[in-house]
Amino acid sequence: MQRRHVLVAGSAALLAAPAFVRAQALEKPKVTIAVGGKNLLYYLPLTIAEQRGYFKAEGLDATIVDFAGGARALQAVVGGSADVVSGAFEHTVNMQFKGQAMRAFALQGLAPQIVLGVNPKTMPNFKTVTDLRGKKIGVTAPGSSTNVMVNFILAKAGLKPSDVSIIGVGTSQGAVAAMRSGQIDAMSNLDPVITLLQRSGDLKIVSDTRIVAEAERVFGGPMPAGCFYCPQAFIDKNPNTVQALANALVRANKWIQAAGPGDIINNVPESYLLGDRAIYIDAFLAAKGALSPDGLFPAKGADTAFRALASIDAEIAKAKLDLNAVYTNDFAKKANAKYPKA
State which fold the 2-112+223-338 domain adopts.
Answer: D-Maltodextrin-Binding Protein; domain 2 (3.40.190)
User: pLDDT (tens digit, 9 = 90+) per residue, 228-274?
Assistant: 999 999 999 999 999 999 999 999 999 999 999 999 999 999 999 98
Residue percentage of the chain with pLDDT more than 90: 87
Predicted confidence (pLDDT) at residue 8 exceeds the cutoff of 60: no
**Looking at residue 4, what is its pLDDT?**
34
Q: Domain locations in the chain?
A: 2-112+223-338, 115-208
- Superfamily in which the 115-208 domain is placed by CATH: Periplasmic binding protein-like II (3.40.190.10)
71 — alpha (psi -120 to 50), left (phi > 0) or beta?
alpha
Residue 47 sits at the vertex; the CA angle it makes with 42 and 51, to the nearest 5 degrees, is 160
158 Rama sector, left if φ>0, alpha if ψ -120 to 50, beta otherwise: left
Structure confidence at residue 144 (pLDDT): 87
Judge if 2-112+223-338 and 115-208 fold alike in CATH terms.
yes
Pairing of strands 84-88, 226-231: antiparallel
* Residues 284-342: tens digit of each pLDDT: 999 999 999 999 999 999 999 999 999 889 999 999 999 999 999 999 999 999 999 87
pTM for this entry: 0.87
pLDDT value at 18 more than 70: no
| Phi, psi angles (nearest 5°) of residue 75 | -60, -35
Residue 152 has pLDDT above 80, yes or no: yes
Q: What is the mean pLDDT of residues 74-100?
A: 97
Question: What is the spatial distance between Cα 183 and Cα 232, in angstroms, rounded to a whole number?
Answer: 41
Which residue spans within 59-170 are E strands per DSSP?
A: 61-67, 84-88, 102-107, 115-118, 136-139, 165-168
**Where does the pLDDT of residue 23 fall: very low under 50, low under 70, confident under 90, or very high at 90 and above?**
very low
Half-sphere exposure of 116 (CA within 13 A, CB side): 22
**Average of per-residue pLDDT across 81-100:** 97
> pLDDT tens for residues 166-211?
999 999 999 999 999 999 999 999 999 999 999 999 999 999 999 9
Please give the Cα distance from 243 to 263 (Å, whole number).
27
Lowest mean per-residue pLDDT among 16-25, 107-116, 277-286: 16-25
